[in-house]
Structure 1
Amino acid sequence: MTVSEKHLLLIYHSRSGTNKQLAEMIAKGAQSEAGNVVFRQKNAFDADADDLLWADATIFVSPEHFGYMAGALKDFFERTFYPTENQVAGRAIAIVIGTGLDGQGALSSIRRICNGYRFKEVQEPIIVVGEPSAEQLEACFNLGLGFSAALDAGIF
């Protein structure tokens, strides 16, 4: 019996470096015990509909700009919604936000758009205000590890 590979996609945007740091920790966790999971990390400007269709699960990492998600992530959603419409419903997602504010505006806007895709948010969001602590970096590592393990086990 062959086990089919699963695909985990990480889409992020970062200007200050904080969200890139969070994304890198997620990537380390996702690749630490990958099993039959293939991992792909993309900047939001570089990701496209083919990436989203490829993915069995996706983790979005975004800063909060002016109380909203990063424009790069919004651009990604605008470019991929119609080409993937009705093809990604039910796929697992998680949201990570690195911010100087409370992150609620970015979280709300990402969730609102993800509802249009009919994604299934399977993890409480991680919101990092200011510089990430060791515990928050560990939470990001564990998010990547957990998503990879859940995909490998067929949970989602």
Structure 2
Amino acid sequence: MKRLNIIAHTPSENTVKLRDAIVAGASDKALKTVEIVTSSPLETKPEQLLTADAIVLFTPENFGYMSGALKDLFDRSFYNILEKTQGLPYALCVRAGKDGTGTVRSVESITKGLNWRQIQPPLVLKGEYHPDFEHKAHEYGQIIAAGLEVGLW
């Protein structure tokens, strides 16, 4: 089994819906060899990052930056995982009220420092909430898990 960790900060009803859509897509019944592990950044321990075969990070845009919860995870984990997760495949999904640029940039600066490998362009769901965001999040989760299953990353 390959392990896909979905680490999602979900402070609102809409972000919960989006996390659930990512998880549902990644949990597609056609995928037989991918185990999905879901946690919030505040619950996630550095050891969980060490056992992941790939990671999906989900964060709302907060003041043009990643959520404080996701930043806390990086603060607690960075030096514990720095040498041990080089090349770790990851993807990023952002729920942005504005444009998400600062959020993407802040996450990418840390993941580049960790030498993680971005496997999909960030999915930035910006502007007023739209139910179509859930469809996009579902597809994103499905693509990441399917790629992991067939060995693309």
Q: Same fold (TM over 0.5)?
A: yes
Residue by residue, what CA displacement relative to the aligned partner does 1:77-110 show, whole Å, maximum 9, x if unpaired? 0111111111111111111111211111111101
* Paired residue secondary structure (2:111): helix
CA RMSD, 1 decimal: 1.1
1:23 aligns with 2:19: yes
Partner of 2:83: 86
Partner of 1:12: 8
Residue by residue, what CA displacement relative to the aligned partner does 1:37-83 show, whole Å, maximum 9, x if unpaired? 11101011001111101111000000111111100000000111111
1:125 aligns with 2:122: yes
* Paired residue secondary structure (2:61): strand
Instruction: Give 1:121's aligned amino acid.
Output: Q
Determine if contact 2:7/2:40 at 8 Å carries over to the other structure.
yes
1:44 aligns with 2:41: yes
Percent of aligned pairs sharing the same letter: 30
**Structure 2 stretches of 5 or more lacking a match?**
none
Q: For 1:152 and 1:24, how far apart are their aligned partners in 2?
A: 20
**Structure 1 stretches of 5 or more lacking a match?**
none
Q: Taking structure 1 as reference, are residues 51 and 132 closer, same or farther at Cα in structure 2, changes over 3 Å only?
A: farther
Partner of 2:94: 97
Q: For 2:47 and 2:7, how far apart are their aligned partners in 1?
A: 13
Q: TM-score, normalised by structure 1?
A: 0.92
Determine if contact 1:9/1:39 at 8 Å carries over to the other structure.
yes
Deviation, 1:18, is 2.3
Deviation, 1:138, is 1.6
The size of the alignment, in residue pairs, is 151
Instruction: Give 2:74's aligned amino acid.
Output: F
* Paired residue secondary structure (1:65): coil
